[in-house]
Amino acid sequence: MKINFIEDNTMKSLALSLIAVNFCLYSISGIAQQEPNRAELQEIIITANRVPQSVDAVMAATTIINRETIRNSQSQSLIELLSGQPGMQLAQSGGQGAQTSLFLRGTESDHTLILIDGVQITTSTGAAGRLELIPLDQIERIEIVRGPRSSIYGSEAIGGVVNIITDTEVDPGFSGNFSVTAGTQGSNNTNLGLQGGNQSTTLALNVSHRKTDGINFRESGSADDDGFENDTAALSLHHQLNDRIHFSANYSRFDSSADYDDGIVNIESQQLSAGFSVALTDNWNSSIRIEGFKEDNNDLSAFGITQSQSENNKINWHNTLLIDGSNQFTFGLDHVEQELLYASFGAMQTDTSRDNDGVYGVYLRNSELADTTLSLRHDDNERFGNQTTGSIALGKNLSQTVRAWISYGTAFKAPNLIDLYVDFPSFFFFANPNLKPETSKNVEVGLQLQALGAQWKFNAFRNDIDDLITTDASFTTLENAQKARINGLEASVEILLADWTMNADLTLLDHENQSTNQELLRRPNQTLALNVAREFGDFDFAVNLLAQSDHHDIDPTTFGSSIVGGFATTDLVLGYRLNATMGLRLRVGNIFDKDYQFVDGFYTLGRTAQLAFNYRF
């Protein structure tokens, strides 16, 4: 498919951005080339197999976004931060606070498992985790695992897992941070974080307020701006009872209000987790944890009121057994209860629930012949019965600088409670309690290498998804009737030389709904993200480019097929360190004021500017 983003002002944007990138690369080439020190670059990831591993040892496509990267990006939202990450496409229906869909590796928006501190935040209505509500100031790091992970986590992890970690390590003593940001569209953001404790007990509190007057989201409808306001609080506690027993608890709350044409949506969500971790022996760690997520959603529109209350409660017993220096086994049990209370205009008020019991195991082996990861999970669901998923991965270090792996995995997505049990008789549309889970089979190869002073990563995959849920031919109910095929290639390069950092991420997709022979909606076939940054003493700067090809969508007026044009945007970030504890950061987003859309009929932000003051104490 021809990339359609090179036109009008976008051509100038892309050309000037590439000139800037080439200038930076030319400057970098003048520095003596050296191989990056991998010992310094090693990072630990837990999300991939629910056990701490070095990133290079994981035989899956992963991305880690740490606190420094988040702070330096000066992104206005989590949506902006995630856009352009390998394998990710995000479709936002407007500006800040607008509903957002995440398509990971071309899968459906509800095929990605979203976690906060390991707690699932997907609602029983089927709505994916509301990324637009999570403030960046409260995020310590983000772990992204691309590819099937149902054999470890259960339902939804067809495209992968995004784990947003707010819990932070706190040193003994007292410290804090304060930031305030102001910018265009009347946007402002205030955040306060406090941390303290001693050798055995630590406590961290973070509160924030975010507000913007917004923009007019839609081409049709009223021309008023659609504002957004969000208040959040997060609390974490850690206590070391003795050398072998550790207690931790995390709580977060989001209260938001978002305007749209002739309506307003109020969302209140809470997430809680608490548990003990016990070193039963020197080689066996066991933990038991309770988790809860609750969301109240009130949507007032010209048609009426829609109210939903969704609740997920979970208890998990998790174990890690180190057999010897080369073999490790992780296993556990979990029980989940989902509840939904739903009332809407045109719908029958529904109060329903379901339970799910899961058992899982992961085996990790390192050897000279090949590294191996095996995982298997069985879910017993009260409503749709049994589902078994598994995966296998084999990898090998071909040299000191080259590593390759291959994997195969299955995954599934359970039908949500609305699709199963909520009828809309006023619209002659009825639920289908006989829906089956959507299932997938994924095969993948990965390659990591160090060459030419850079770290390179390549991942190629094919994902076949069956039993996709869609409306039937009469448009009166739902059925498992469609199939999809997604082929993809992800390529990433990172260069760290002297004070320069450069990252480039390319995602190529070839996808098809095999039931209609049409491309899947809102999935651009090509996505390119470039980032170049450098420090100059107390100053630093970064230039970010995001380019996407055109994609298929639905015309909001005719409801027929439409094409949304591609685009390229460029952001500039400047930072100045006032002293060891204070700093200023200026971000100019979409500096060439490119007019573009993610979702047909919905505007996006033009040129924006925001200035932030940060203080650590």
Let me know if residue 218 belongs to a domain.
Answer: yes
Residue 99 lies in a domain: no
Query: Would residue 135 count as lying in a domain?
Result: no
Residue 404 lies in a domain: yes
Tokens of 101: 């869909």
pLDDT of 348-363, one tens digit each?
889 999 999 999 999 9
**Number of domains comprising the chain:** 1
Give the tokens for residue 161: 């897992």
pTM value? 0.91
Question: 3-state DSSP helix/strand/coil percent for the chain, to nearest 5?
Answer: 10, 60, 30
Pairing of strands 438-451, 454-471: antiparallel
In angstroms, the Cα distances linking 505 to 16, 459, 557 are 19, 11, 35
Question: Encoding tokens for residue 343?
Answer: 């009332």
Specify whether the CB–CB gap between 311 and 390 falls below 8 A: no
What is the rounded CA–CA span in Å between residue 570 and residue 545?
Answer: 5
- Of 33, 38, 21, whose CA–CA distance to 497 is shortest? 33
**Distance between first and last Cα of the chain:** 52
Cα 166 to Cα 66, 112, 119, 562, 596, distances in angstroms: 11, 19, 11, 39, 32
Q: Among 476, 488, 467, which Cα is nearest to 410's?
A: 467
Q: Return the pLDDT at 11.
A: 37
Q: Which of 313, 238, 319 is nearest to 275 (CA)?
A: 238
Where the chain has pLDDT below 70, the residues are 1-42, 219-223
CATH of the domain at 210: 2.40.170.20
pLDDT of residue 219: 67
Residues 283-317 have pLDDT tens digits of 999 999 999 999 999 999 878 899 999 999 999 99
Q: Which domain holds residue 342?
A: 8-37+171-616
Indicate whether 447 belongs to any domain: yes
CA dist., res. 460 & res. 509, Å (int)? 10
Is residue 108 domain-resident?
no
Classify residue 52: in a domain, yes or no: no
Residue 222 has a pLDDT of 65
Do the domain assignments include residue 401?
yes
